[in-house]
Amino acid sequence: MIKRRSIQIPILASFVVLWLSLFIYQKHLQNRVKEETTIITPDGINSLEKITLGGIDQWVLIRGWSKSNPVLLFLHGGPGAPLFTYAREIGVKAKLEQHFVMVYWEQRGTGKSFSPNIPEESMTIEQFISDTHELVELLRYRFKAPKIFLVGRSWGSIIGIFTAKRHPELFYAYVGIGQIVNSLENDKISYQFTLETAARLGNEKALKDLEEIGPPPYDYKKLIIQRKWLTEFSKIIMAEKTGKDYPISNSRIKLLSTPEYSLIDILKMGINPYFSIKHLWDDEYYRINLFEQVPQMELPVYFLAGRYDYFTPSEIVEHYYQKLIAPKGKHFIWFENSGHEPEFEETEKFYDIMVNKVLEKTINLDYPLDLYR
């Protein structure tokens, strides 16, 4: 007994030292981010809040230079990709927080909003649309706003466009970044591109993996394999096409340095990192076809498309844009030096579109009916 205790005490002490060191390091990183991104305007807002949507506790980060500015709700991708980690790149680096009250929402099952107690049966597209609508109504009441702006990227563009379709009166405009239009066709093109790139680069391991999973539809395990290789090849493609290195971020450092996350939050995320994608990349997802389900929109619509986006291939978005009936205006904007993340890859252009086009021309109801560039 004495010998066992003599072993356990050093192990426990080492664990405590490790945890304390990690905690101190995290606070150092977080304090640096806070200092670099603090909001000092007298009417500014920087608020992390827990709310209840659809009976589930979820978290929103609200930031902006003035609470009187128009509200913009940002719907993240994934599904299940933590948003708070990159919120300041959207709001601070792209300067959107100077012009909007930015609302960054981590959807049920994602980031700080993950809980192992979330009912699996609630992880449906319909529930996410309901959560989005409920949040929009809360924001309109909170900020006394007749309408807000809605931005959906990648996975978030699904729940975004369906919510805007059902409730156009609640929004000044809808913006789709990496818009998903036809899920099955999207993944077929993405797979074929990844397979052809693997062959061109002579990557035998990638070819073997991709040939084993075959073309879609996929379950989440097969999807992860295809997206892993597409991510690797996207770095090479972007360097070839633009002459710039594809930005590679250390996700662990990003998580640690995010002021909204505690170490407990990060550990919770690691319990089941594929929780959302496991339940949402399913038959319901592969039935999405906006050509049939959303042929018309009764509000201004903007599509921001990366020229080299093969996660959500822009050729499908362009085709949908051409077919879409949008009497209040439709807009398709190419980002010529971007892949799947134009808001990060061409920040200045993203700012120009969001502030000088979406905000100024839409909120003043002074927009052309058709803008193609």
Q: Where are the domains of the chain?
A: 45-182+252-372, 185-248
Q: What is the pTM of this model?
A: 0.92
Residues 155/227, Cβ–Cβ less than 8 Å = no
For position 240, what pLDDT does the model report? 87
| Residue 309 among the catalytic residues | yes
* Active-site residue identified among 154, 157, 183, 190: 154
Residues 317/303, Cβ–Cβ less than 8 Å = yes
Q: Which residue in 87, 152, 148 sits closest to 125, CA to CA?
A: 152
Task: Tally Cβ neighbours within 10 Å of residue 257.
Answer: 20
| Residue 340 among the catalytic residues | yes
Domain 45-182+252-372 has CATH 2.60.40.10: no
Per-10-residue mean pLDDT, the chain, length 373: 57 68 84 91 96 97 97 96 94 94 98 94 97 98 97 98 98 98 97 97 97 96 96 90 66 87 91 93 96 98 97 97 97 96 95 95 55 38
| Residue 154 among the catalytic residues | yes
- By DSSP bridging, strand 71-75 and strand 101-106 are parallel
Both tokens assigned to 241: 């096409």
Both tokens assigned to 282: 């399913």
Both tokens assigned to 135: 């949040």
Task: Tally Cβ neighbours within 10 Å of residue 157.
Answer: 25
* Active-site residue identified among 309, 314, 331, 338: 309
For position 16, what pLDDT does the model report? 72
For position 339, what pLDDT does the model report? 93
Q: Which residue in 35, 88, 41, 79 sits closest to 61, CA to CA?
A: 88
Burial of 86 (0-12, 13-18, 19+ CB in 10 A): buried
* Active-site residue identified among 99, 133, 331, 340: 340
